[in-house]
Amino acid sequence: MRNLPGLRLTLMLFALIFSAKEIWAEDTACSGSVSSPADVSLQLSLQDGQTTFREGETITLKLSYSSTAKGKYEMSTRNYDRSGPMGEESFCLTPSGRDPLADYFSFGMFDGGGLSGIHDLDETPFTMTLELNEWASLSPGTYHLYIENGRVTEVVSHKTSRSGTSRTVRLQSNSVDFQVIAADSQWQSEQLAAALKRLDSTPEDEAKHAARVLRFLNSEDAAREMAQRFSGANEQPRSWEFMFGLLGSRHRALVIQELKAAISAPQHPITVNFLRTLALLEIYSNPEYHLPYDPAKKDEWQKKMSARNKTLEALMKQHQDELESVIATKTGEARAISLKTILVDSVTPGATDKPPLRQQLVASWDALPMAMRNELLGFRWELVGGPEFLPVLRHIVSSPPATDYSRDRIDRGIALRRIYELSPAEGRDFILKEIARERTDVTIAVLGLLPEKELPEIEQPVLARLRSGNHSDVDYQLVDRYATVQALAEVRSIYEKSAGKWACAPQSALLRYFLRVDRDYGVAEVAEALNLRKTTGCYQTELSELREFVSLPQVEKIAIAALNDPSVHVVTSAAAALASYGSAKAEAALRKRLEQLHKEWKSPVEKPEGTSPAFAALNEQIMLESALVQALTNGQAWLYGPDKLQQLKKLVSSNEQQQIDQIIYFWQKDNTMVLSLSWFPNLDQLQYTVGYMNGNGMKHLKQKLSQLPAGTHLSCVTTALEHQKHREEFEAVQETASMAGLILDIQISR
């Protein structure tokens, strides 16, 4: 992911203008015409049988799914609020209620996603709960409700297909009736007081429930309380609940007033999400920006949506300027977070070029939440980092290593990397001291930064730890990275004592070391490691972990032979290794193995049971085919153009044919491909994508560009900051493209 300014990351969520009707509307939803299969059902009930609710009281629904046809249906168990997956349910309510987030989603905002599980339906009901208030804010009245949803899918048998498919089954529940009555002020006050007490002093689950009570209560006092608590920081507990509560509140004028006041409040932290929420509410309050979708005027609607987005950005900039004018009055954490907002998450480009504010951020460092400190040291460093941070970095690196890996600890490794970037000589000293420590929490990605191919001085402390047993994976990786041939005898002795019993990371590191300093011995041990399978499962991934050493002819020979291994995991590892590091002759071996697979392919007449040997065998075939196709189409030493892809398509299953069709599409776009270049903050190597092909490192990128047909157009979009930092790399890419007869267009965004 590129280091784009914070606003760009935020606005990317809704800058793409979609048709609200196309995204959310379902023409058939709540038409009452759903014909549910007789052997699967959805039962709706009100929790605890409650049928009367006060206005603003949480209305909890119970949904129970069951099927008399075991194994025929499965369902998604996702159960997030609307910051997660969308569109699972349609709430068919008469009379209809007010959707509190209608404006938010009509703006093109989309927060879909989230983890999901799959449950196989049978006669035992599977029950989940939803809170109707999430989708409908109800005034006093009598309501009739049923639900339609698409959580359930019917699994189609495999029959003659090599891969199973499924189809969505739309279900309609029974109906329930309930009443909403007016809420008196005393009840609202009692609910608010109880929620605030739980919010501040109870376990997370209860606190989240309390936040939702606050959100749904919809009283002026509840809205005021949420506004005074809301910062918009991802680290703030229940931030999304407060944000949705404010955006959906009936009391918008009050909320806007409170949020504006918070900008100058000394102890209120302001984030870019805070600024966005305030600006959205101001836009929602302006009838000019209520833009119902009209399919007959789609272009005009999209232009108005674009103008509305520009207005949003202008309002955010206005409030950010207000924040900057009062930043000196902010205190503690509020000041630190607000400084980060101005400098790093800025609405305006070039905001980082403000030395006085940068110095203030350094001075406020200890007041930042730990997650924000790590964020700034990591993927936001290019926006804010500089020599003024050296005192902070030295303090971090000089602190003791962490004994655990919780999120609430500072990342000493990334701090050490930043010192090395700012002051290489000083960084080198810190790295050598870190290597000499008895215990470190810094990874090899940082400890391996030094330019020397070998460092004899690290051998004594590292080998001492290996002998004593007081070691970690990084010690073996240090041997791989820096140890000389002088350490070979002792390292061999250590390795051979536990041959076949090693954990995977140490074994891979030692094998890479052997291949580097004693190739013949290393090759023999690689072959042996693939055969030692009683105690360890490391043989399954060994070949791909050898990385660039697969390019050695002796190791490539082993990898090609492993394509016929009885273990599907060994074969997939070999395929991945050959794709990344094999020579051109590996292509023929991969193709031959794919042809062999389809001669042996066994497709069951019916879908096998999930625990049966036939099911496992089918899954292995599918996994192996996918790995071989991926290796062939993304091989580093060869290129799969349209002709080869069409030939490959004839050989593979329908599922892989779809994947190949997507790859062919890249060759049919007016001879144009997208080139994406990324430098991740914790990795040294360039990561690239050329059309559908991806890889690591400038050497491999140059090789891949040289394979493309002359005249191919490449389009690359980057930021000014990234282009400046990696100017030499961009120039090298431009030179390689020119030599290959390619047309490279590098677009630099602000």
State both tokens at 574.
């070999």
Exposure of 168 in the CB half-sphere (CA atoms within 13 A) = 10
Question: What tens digit of pLDDT does each residue of 512-522 get?
Answer: 999 999 999 99
Kindly compute the dihedral angle of the four CA atoms of residues 330, 333, 339, 340, in this order, to the nearest 10 degrees: -160
pLDDT, tens digit, for every residue of 218-274? 899 999 999 999 998 887 888 889 999 999 999 999 999 999 999 999 999 999 999
Beta bridge partners of 442: none
| Cβ atoms within 10 Å, residue 378 | 16
Is the bond into 451 cis (omega within 30 degrees of 0)?
no
CB 179 within 8 A of CB 639: no
Cα separation of 233 and 227, whole Å?
13
Give residue 683's pLDDT. 58
What's the pLDDT at 17? 35
What's the whole-model pTM score? 0.83
Residue 13: its pLDDT value, please?
A: 37
Q: What are the helix (H) ranges across 326-443?
A: 332-343, 355-363, 370-377, 381-384, 390-398, 412-422, 424-436
Whole-number Å distance between alpha carbons of 246 and 104? 11
Q: Which residue has the tokens 């409700």?
A: 145
CB neighbours of residue 593 within 10 Å: 22
With a CB cutoff of 8 Å and minimum separation 6, the contacts of 523 are 515, 552, 554, 555, 558
CA distance 632 to 654: 17
3-class DSSP string for 644-679: HHHHHHHHCCHHHHHHHHHHHHHCCCCCEEEEEEEC
How much of the chain exceeds pLDDT 70, in percent? 89
Q: What is the dihedral of CA 177, 179, 180, 181, to 10 degrees?
A: 180
CA 655, CA 625: separation in Å to the nearest integer?
Answer: 10
> Tokens 């497709």 appear where?
603
What values do phi and psi take at 594, rounded to 5? -65, -40
626 Cβ contact list (under 8 Å, min separation 6)? 656, 659
Do the beta carbons of residue 162 and residue 622 sit within 8 Å?
yes
d(CA 45, CA 174): 9
The C-alpha atoms of residue 228 and residue 187 are separated, in whole angstroms, by: 22
Rounded alpha-carbon distances, angstroms, from residue 102 to 208, 279, 447: 23, 16, 51
User: Under 8 Å CB-to-CB from 353, ≥6 apart: which residues?
Assistant: none
The one-character DSSP state at 344 is T
> For residue 264, what are the CA distances in angstroms to 275, 325, 330, 347, 530?
13, 9, 8, 18, 65
C-alpha 236/C-alpha 137 separation (Å) is: 25
In order of 291, 542, 544, 699, the CA distances from 548 in angstroms are 56, 13, 9, 12
Residues (pLDDT < 70) of the chain are 1-28, 80-87, 108-116, 156-166, 349-353, 405-407, 602-615, 681-684, 750
Mean pLDDT of the chain: 88
Residue 665 half-sphere exposure toward CB, CA atoms < 13 A: 9
